[in-house]
Amino acid sequence: MRQRLALAALLLLGIGAWPAAAQTCSLTVTTMSFGTYTGALLNGTATGKVTCAGAWDIPLNAGTGVGATETVREMTGPGGAELSYEVFQDAARTVNWGNTTGTELTGTGNTDVTFYGQILALQFAAPGTYTDTLSTATTDFTVTVTVAKACTVSATALAFGTYSGSLINANSTLTVTCTKTTAYNVGLNAGTATGATVTTRKMTGPASATLGYSLYQNSTHTTNWGNTVGTNTVAGTGTGAAQLLTVYGQVPAGQYPAPGAYSDTITVSVTY
């Protein structure tokens, strides 16, 4: 007969009594602290020690988060925001740890056990401290993480096509994803051409010839887009979801450099 061991919080001892003529078993467990989460996959562990002369099993419930299950648990943070995580029985993090038949950790005798936690990447919950409480038959222990401000950005190419001396416009799309409530500014640098600035950008072509162009924040091509925060950057506030920004490019008319392919590389910076 197996006894369902109760998991204990740090420095606490859970003792379960076996039926008459059976042994007494105990388990101690540390808090599972993930440290700081910045949007990348993050692993954490908690360690425990089983003291038992016979067979045992350790169940692990879904926790206290709203909508949590035995496979996708939820830590709760500022304003009721949630951050999903999982708990596994193995270091490869492939065997879920639950409290239904077949998902509990089982063993025999005195042994050390490890709870393997994982927070998946690309969650952008509001910054702050998140916690959950995991319970067994009679006791519980804490899971915690600090969510830091974080942003990611990606961009599509800005292709002007063929220039023949007449004004030409083209757009690029930036995708910015930031943690909820995080204020940010998106800047564009001067590019790679010699002598270029954020107001006089240049593409470089054959024999180092250049072709001037500009990048704007608005579709009327009147507000320059630079990289000085508070002066010529684009501000926003993270929602935890992708936010799209349009870069409006323009090559002025009346330029006649050598024919050929011209290009430049712009670095996008997100300050938060």
CATH no., domain 3-147: 2.60.40.10
**Residues 6+ away with beta carbon under 8 Å from 13:** 26, 27, 28
Q: What is the pLDDT of residue 26?
A: 86
Sequence ranges of the domains in the chain: 3-147, 151-271
- Average pLDDT, integer, range 186-197: 98
**Residues 6+ away with beta carbon under 8 Å from 212:** 200, 201, 202, 251, 252, 255
- Average pLDDT, integer, range 27-48: 95
Is the fold of 3-147 the same as that of 151-271? Answer: yes
pLDDT for 122-174, tens place per residue?
A: 999 999 999 999 987 667 899 999 999 999 999 999 999 999 999 999 999 99
Q: What is the pLDDT of residue 140?
A: 87
Residue 14 pLDDT level (bands cut at 50, 70, 90): very low
Q: Residue 44 pLDDT more than 80?
A: yes
Half-sphere exposure at residue 207, Cβ-oriented, CA atoms within 13 angstroms: 3
Three-state SS annotation for the chain: CCEECCCCCCCCCEEEECCCCCCEEEEEECCEEEEEECCCCEEEEEEEEEECCCEEEECCCCCCCCCCCCCCEEEECHHHCEEEEEEECCCCCCCECCCCCCCCEEEECCEEEEEEEEECCCCCCCCEEEEEEEECCCCEEEEEEEECCCEEEEECCCCCCCCCCCCEEEEEEEEEEECCCCEEEEEECCCCCCCCCCCCEEEECHHHCEEEEEEECCCCCCCECCCCCCCCCEEEECCCCEEEEEEEEEECCCCCCCCCCCECCCCEEEEC
Q: Residue 5 pLDDT more than 50?
A: no
**Cα separation, 83 vs 77, whole angstroms:** 8
Q: pTM for the complete prediction? A: 0.80
Q: What is the pLDDT of residue 6?
A: 35
- Average pLDDT, integer, range 253-267: 98
pLDDT for 72-83, tens place per residue?
A: 999 999 999 999
**Cα separation, 268 vs 272, whole angstroms:** 13
pLDDT for 205-243, tens place per residue?
A: 999 999 999 999 999 999 999 999 999 999 999 999 999
Q: What is the pLDDT of residue 8?
A: 32
Q: Which tokens belong to 70?
A: 């035995």
Q: Which fold has domain 151-271?
A: Immunoglobulin-like (2.60.40)
Q: Residue 22 pLDDT more than 80?
A: no
**Cα separation, 49 vs 110, whole angstroms:** 8
Stronger pLDDT, 14 or 162, i.e. the higher one: 162
- Average pLDDT, integer, range 179-187: 97
pLDDT for 59-118, tens place per residue?
A: 999 999 999 999 999 999 999 999 999 999 999 999 999 999 999 999 999 999 999 999
Residue 33 pLDDT level (bands cut at 50, 70, 90): very high
Tell me if 99 sits within 8 A of 59, measured CB to CB: yes
Q: Residue 19 pLDDT more than 90?
A: no
